Structure 1
Amino acid sequence: MTRYAEPPGSGLELTEAERRFLGLLDELSEAPGVDVLHEERGPVDEYIGDADEAFQLLTDELGISLDASLRRVYLRFKGLSSHWAVERPDLYLTGEFSLHHIAAAMLIPGVEPAVDEPSEQEERLCAELRPFDEHLRGGGGTLSALRVTEGSTVPEVWYHHATRGTFRMDIGYPEYLETLLVTKGTYGWQYLFTDVRFGDIDFQGAAENIQNMLQVFPEIFPDHDYSGLRARLEARA
């Protein structure tokens, strides 16, 4: 387990967004009944710099001009991750996240299509995806990625499954991070923000995970509001 009580280096002041995500790791590590299997806290990526420098780098190197509103959620950590589990006699719940900051994500190449013979459209889509939240320890080939289309300043958010395909999420990058603070990376939570039906056999495992999350998280993490997630689950039944 890799932990840093404070970011390495002197004189570094964390942003509000960075403090909130370190608080997420604290929530998991301090919660009763939550077994943290892996954790990584930083360090801060001083080479790329702060949000202004990172966004300018993307403009200079890739010709991508991201909307200034995204700077408030910029996380400078080289790595920020957790893999955790909750095990009870009648319930098993697990999840994971591993975040790259947005500048690093934009410099990561695309993802492999979910089928052996993808269409040209799917190949092009997968080539344009930039992973920012990977689930390498127990996610079964899942990740979340950004896509910036030509002329756009706001990235799309996509959820990619190695065998089921690629799903456009109906939230933006800041909303994804905000929701991650609540779901803690529960496997499959991203499907709540896609056009799927949990009655389909491919998504029943994710639905069970989400149901278990909504059963135990109000007890373990009572300071969060789960009503919006419940409504989305019911809408996709």
Structure 2
Amino acid sequence: MQQTHSPLILIIDSDAYIKSLLADNLRSEGYTVETVESALEALVLHLDRYSLIISEVELPGEIDGFELLERVKDDPMTSTVPLIFCTVRDNENDIIKGLNAGADDYIIRPFSLREMLARVRSVLRRHRNMAPASNMRTIEYRTLILNVDSHGLLIDGESVSLSPTEFSILTLLLRSRNRMFKREEILAAAWPGEELNNPRLVDVNISRLRKKLSTYSRHLVNKSGLGYGFVDEA
């Protein structure tokens, strides 16, 4: 008998009650559900694994739901992953902005659970027969290739070993090249769910990454007052 897998849904929301309400009801419908609190936590995940993302627009940190959606759609690995906004933002301009940016639906809180589940089914049904845009599961920059499945790194064809933390940080920076991240943002992304207040952890791991990146170390920069980033020209 052929084994079937339930759709995997990611919920991104800092409201514990809403997150639990959605997760419990989706699981009762047979879906597999994972949850995170912020866009930064989401961006270090393998988002191409998910059948659907449900996100609030108002998220903690500097990346809101609109920017998250833009990054999901701009990444070849995730451009076909559907995203539903479930949000307190009920302004008409926000609704139009979200839908024009590529959101598959825009649901305003408070919402009916029956309607919410119906919309989830509708979005999944629309995407069920869509072929993936690409089977590529790597992030590439010139001769630097980061494999999101094996957590491996190749530079000029040579394998480079990364710790899980180094991989998370490099994934975040490579997926958002030319954007600067504050230490607090990197802490939240690389150590999700942990209450860490030691920015030195970021500095230590960045220092290790620089040593491993060889000729690409110059692209891993620290700009005063802005933070760390992987830039095209350094």
TM-score by length of 2: 0.30
TM-score by length of 1: 0.30
The higher radius of gyration belongs to: 2
